[in-house]
Amino acid sequence: MDIELKKWDESMKDDLMRLCNSVDRTYLSERIPDPYTEADAEWWLGMVAEHDGKDSIYRAIVVDGKVAGTISIEPKADVMRKDAELGYFLLTEYWLQGIMTEATKQICKIAFDELDIIRISSMVYSPNIASQRVLEKSGFAHEGRQRNAIYKDGNIWDAVLFGKLKEEQ
């Protein structure tokens, strides 16, 4: 299996729309529109073109030539500006194959090499054990838990916090 992180560009608009309209949304942020329209894809790809490599890293996860997911590292602000947030999702048919662990390792290296950051953070919904394992296997430390911090689809969950320092690469 060939796993590659590829820069998003305008030619991938249809792949992005297919991905965002097919992904399991159980543990995703509600800020991703549903349905995901052509206008949504155009806006997001424009934002990516403006920020990628400057203050953020955005990549398509390509498995054997097909877009299977997306992964990003986006900056925090103010006194937390040396920290950046990791986010990702993968189509269900690609789960449990080590793909997200490999993609996470790759993007962390890119971000620490290219961005002016000293740590990467990630927050996971407490029932999402698979995502917690991805972070642990990728060298992230479990840093804590925010009790009852997430409300989604009538559920209240804890937020599980992870972090990785630049010197821990």
pLDDT tens across 69-120, in order?
A: 999 999 999 999 999 999 999 999 999 999 999 999 999 999 999 999 999 9
Q: Both tokens of residue 60?
A: 């398509």
Residues spanned by the domain of 133:
3-168
The CB-based long-range contact list for 64-67 (8 Å cut-off, 24+ gap) reads 64/1, 64/2, 65/2, 67/12, 67/15, 67/16, 67/18, 67/19
Q: From the CB of residue 146, how many other CB atoms can be counted at a distance below 10 Å?
A: 13
How distant, in Å, are the alpha carbons of 20, 63, 83, 117 from that of 90?
10, 11, 24, 25
Q: Both tokens of residue 51?
A: 């920020």
CATH number for the domain spanning 92: value is 3.40.630.30
pLDDT tens across 16-55, in order?
A: 999 999 999 999 999 999 999 999 999 999 999 999 999 9
* pLDDT, position 1: 87
Would you call 54 helix, strand, or coil by DSSP? coil
Position 121 pLDDT exceeds 90: yes
* pLDDT, position 169: 79
Average pLDDT over every residue of 3-9: 97
pLDDT tens across 130-169, in order?
A: 999 999 999 999 999 999 999 999 999 999 999 999 998 7
How far is residue 169's CA from residue 160's CA, in Å, rounded to a whole number?
Answer: 21
How far is residue 52's CA from residue 149's CA, in Å, rounded to a whole number?
Answer: 29
* pLDDT, position 55: 95
Domain count, the chain: 1
Percentage helix, strand, coil for the chain under 3-state DSSP, each rounded to 5: 35, 35, 25
